[in-house]
Amino acid sequence: MAADSPDSAVHHAARQGFSDAAQTYSHGRPDYPRELLPWLHQSLGLGPGSIAVDLGAGTGKFTPLLLATGTSVVAVEPVDAMRAQLLRSIPTVTALAASAQSLPLANASVDAVLCAQAFHWFATPEALREIGRVLKAGGKLGLVWNVRDESVDWVAAITRIVTPYEGDTPRFHTGEWRRLFPSELFSQLEETVLSYRHRGSARQVIVERVLSVSFIAALPTADRKRVEQSLEALIASHPELKDAASIEFPYRTHAYCSTRAPNP
């Protein structure tokens, strides 16, 4: 890999895991609640005539919601396999091979930058400055995560299966990414929280969802198989999961908005 290729700036777990599991990611990951549309319109100011960047767009899970606002969307995704999956799903979208640290966009050229399930991967002052560069003064940065609702016992059990493999992988739950706000360029974060349920078979919403986690997908085959077997054992033994044709995986969708400061 060339030193200046877009995914050279990507954490090794994301680069390998998301390359290996792009199709599983597309099928197993939840979408985002349509109840976010008012937030996108009102807090982010999206609508016809605006331009938004879907940064770390992955396979395009969040992109349709952005398009539903009427905004023009530019997807940015450094991992080739993920970007290819996005273009198979949404062939009409503009999708650029680039990283958050080096965006091929002009200064002050976009109204909003959205990072869905992604900002923790590149939460550095360098990336935030680059996001600030392409945003218009007063433009919006939106950060969105679907977070497992661990108040449900079997969801907490899934976390116990996954956590031992986490290593140094950047994660939402550590809160490290929050330390960048507020800054000279960006205001304090404003948070909105919604409930969301991912409906489907246990295989899809539990097993495939977990196998799409970057550091799980990047594991050696034997370790990844052990994780899969542990999940299948949980499904087979839990009264709410076993023999269920369809289940609802509970999430809390956390959406954050920050405003780019005016130019001095």
Rg (CA), the chain: 18
The CA distance from 5 to 99, in Å, is 9
Percent of the chain with pLDDT over 70: 89
Alpha-carbon torsion (84, 89, 91, 93), positive or negative: negative
Going by their DSSP bridges, the two strands 51-55 and 110-116 should be labelled as: parallel
The CA distance from 175 to 155, in Å, is 20
What pLDDT score was predicted for residue 44? 98
User: Residue 155 phi/psi, 5° resolution?
Assistant: -70, -40
In order of their start, the domains of the chain are 6-259 (3.40.50.150)
Pairing state between β 190-200 and 110-116: unpaired
- List phi, psi (to 5°) of 153: -60, -40
Q: How many CB atoms lie within 10 A of CB 58?
A: 25
Question: Would you say 109 and 49 are in contact if contact means Cβ atoms under 8 Å apart?
Answer: no
Tokens of 33: 């609640």
The 3-class SS string of 115-163 reads EECCHHHHCCHHHHHHHHHHEEEEEEEEEEEEEECCCCHHHHHHHHHHH
121: left (phi over 0), alpha (psi -120 to 50) or beta: alpha
Q: At what angle do helices 153-162 and 221-237 cross, to 10 degrees?
A: 170
Q: What is the pTM of this model?
A: 0.89
E strand or H helix at 248: strand 247-259
Task: Kindly give the confidence (pLDDT) of every residue in the chain, 264 residues in length, as a single tens digit, with 9 standing for 90 and above.
Answer: 333 455 555 545 444 444 444 555 555 578 899 999 999 999 999 999 999 999 999 999 999 999 999 999 999 999 998 899 999 999 999 999 999 999 999 999 999 999 999 999 999 999 999 999 999 999 999 999 999 999 999 999 999 999 999 988 889 999 999 999 999 999 999 999 999 999 999 999 999 989 988 889 889 999 999 999 999 999 999 999 999 999 999 999 999 999 999 986
C-alpha 85/C-alpha 26 separation (Å) is 8
Q: What is the four-CA torsion angle of 133, 135, 141, 142, rounded to 10 degrees?
A: -120
Peptide bond into 182 cis (omega under 30): yes
